[in-house]
Amino acid sequence: MNDSPAVLTEAAIAGLLVDTEPYLSCDECFERIDQYVDRRVTDPSHADPGMDTHLAGCGACAEEARTLEDLLRQDAEVTSTADTENGRRE
């Protein structure tokens, strides 16, 4: 363990002052993240105040949401490309 004082940067201050009300736990976020990202992919303007707030305040959950969204967008591209190729064959 290290007891040296931490250095307070502007980025750290911004992170410290994020308003995370309404409270949502990481477990609750995990329960809902698949539904949330599914909807975000089909409707980028989709808002869920509880999830949006949690993701603004939790870096690990936010990273997981970004990865999940990235995967779904790749899947959509694969499906779209396959549909196009099938259409050409027909």
CB of 20 to other proteins, least distance (A): 5
Using rule CB under 8 A, residue 85 touches other proteins: no
Using rule CB under 8 A, residue 33 touches other proteins: yes
First to last CA, the chain: 66
Half-sphere exposure of 69 (CA within 13 A, CB side): 15
Using rule CB under 8 A, residue 81 touches other proteins: no
Which residues, at least 6 apart from 36, have a Cβ–Cβ distance to it below 8 Å? 46, 48, 51, 65
Using rule CB under 8 A, residue 16 touches other proteins: yes
Using rule CB under 8 A, residue 47 touches other proteins: no
